């Protein structure tokens, strides 16, 4: 993806999010220079826990058809979990546009609630995992949706209208996209590590390869190692 396209997606996405009465936290709007200063001072958690803007085409260069907008607003880490203290959860804001697919994947550790916060219909294609963690093409899928148990056929589509949600556990393979327009999505989960806890069905990258045709408006989480240095 070109950096200029990333910058424009940030502007458009922020406008879309605000249209539903949601405002991102202050660090969302720090310039790269401000981010460097603050991370070196009192805000290292933002870098260390990969909080912030995340715009991905999964390394395929076709964001309109295969992509997702995410912003991680809060996130703990496994040290919190192991110690039983600190932030044990994560929260993201996401946008899925019409027929823009987030590809089939699952997680080893993360259980997440995916919530349609507004806009169009969110469609999820679901499969159960077999004993080795691979997709089971035949087994039924059982998920909770707003406290109600749903049992579905393998590969069946679950439609979430605004206000509806689904709980996806680590053994649930899922892909999703918007139907009828763009969807504002909330994600609430236990702590999240996007570097290591995304298992894709097909060989694919998690982050975008950025072509630097202009300066970044704001840093992506995938920029942090280069711009801010890796956590100590």
For the record, the structure tokens of 213 come out as 């045709």
Q: What DSSP designation does 157 have?
A: E
pLDDT (0 to 100) of residue 230: 82
Nearest 5°: the CA angle 29, 186, 111 is: 120
Residue closest to 223 by CA, chosen among 47, 64, 103? 47
pLDDT (0 to 100) of residue 78: 86
Does the pLDDT of residue 160 top 80, yes or no? yes
What average pLDDT does range 24-28 have in this prediction? Answer: 98
Cα–Cα distances in angstroms (integers) from residue 218 to residues 50, 107, 115, 141, 212, in the given order: 14, 28, 26, 39, 13
For the record, the structure tokens of 141 come out as 């899928």
Answer for the pair 191, 86: CB distance below 8 angstroms, yes or no: no
> The tokens 């045709």 sit on which residue?
213
What average pLDDT does range 161-188 have in this prediction? Answer: 98
Task: Identify the architecture of domain 3-228 in CATH.
Answer: Sandwich (2.60)
pLDDT in tens, 111-130: 999 999 999 999 999 999 99
For the record, the structure tokens of 178 come out as 């918007």
Q: What is the pTM of this model?
A: 0.96
Q: What is the CA radius of gyration of the chain?
A: 17
Does the pLDDT of residue 232 top 70, yes or no? no
Q: Cα(141)–Cα(104) distance, rounded to whole angstroms?
A: 15
Residue 138, judged by CB atoms within 10 A of its CB (0-12, 13-18, 19+), counts as exposed
Confidence of residue 52 (pLDDT cuts 50, 70, 90): very high
Q: What DSSP designation does 109 have?
A: S
Does the pLDDT of residue 75 top 70, yes or no? yes
What average pLDDT does range 13-19 have in this prediction? Answer: 98
Domain chopping of the chain, boundaries: 3-228
Centroid of chain to Cα 208: 13
pLDDT in tens, 55-67: 999 999 999 999 9
Answer for the pair 145, 163: CB distance below 8 angstroms, yes or no: no
pLDDT (0 to 100) of residue 84: 84
Confidence of residue 182 (pLDDT cuts 50, 70, 90): very high
Residue closest to 199 by CA, chosen among 140, 134, 121, 125? 134
Contacts of 200 (CB under 8 A, 6+ apart): 58, 103, 104, 105, 206
Q: What DSSP designation does 210 have?
A: P
């Amino acid at each position: 993806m070109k950096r200029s396209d990333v910058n424009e997606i940030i502007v458009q996405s922020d406008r879309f999010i605000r249209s539903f009465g949601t405002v991102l936290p202050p660090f969302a709007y720090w310039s790269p220079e401000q981010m460097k200063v603050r991370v070196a001072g009192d805000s290292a958690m933002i870098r260390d826990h990969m909080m912030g803007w995340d715009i991905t085409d999964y390394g395929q260069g076709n964001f309109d058809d295969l992509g997702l907008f995410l912003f991680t607003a809060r996130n703990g880490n496994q040290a919190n979990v192991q110690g039983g203290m600190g932030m044990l959860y994560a929260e993201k804001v996401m946008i899925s546009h019409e027929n823009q697919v987030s590809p089939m994947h699952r997680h080893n550790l993360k259980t997440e609630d995916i919530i349609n916060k507004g806009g169009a219909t969110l469609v999820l294609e679901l499969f159960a995992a077999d004993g080795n963690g691979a997709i089971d093409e035949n087994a039924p899928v059982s998920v909770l949706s707003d406290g109600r148990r749903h049992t579905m056929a393998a590969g069946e589509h679950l439609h979430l209208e605004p206000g509806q949600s689904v709980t996806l556990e680590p053994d649930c393979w899922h892909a999703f996209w918007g139907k009828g327009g763009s969807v504002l999505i909330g994600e609430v989960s236990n702590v999240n590590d996007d570097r290591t806890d995304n298992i894709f069905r097909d060989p694919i990258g998690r982050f975008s390869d950025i072509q630097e045709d202009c300066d970044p408006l704001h840093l992506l989480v995938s920029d942090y190692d280069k711009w801010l240095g890796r956590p100590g």
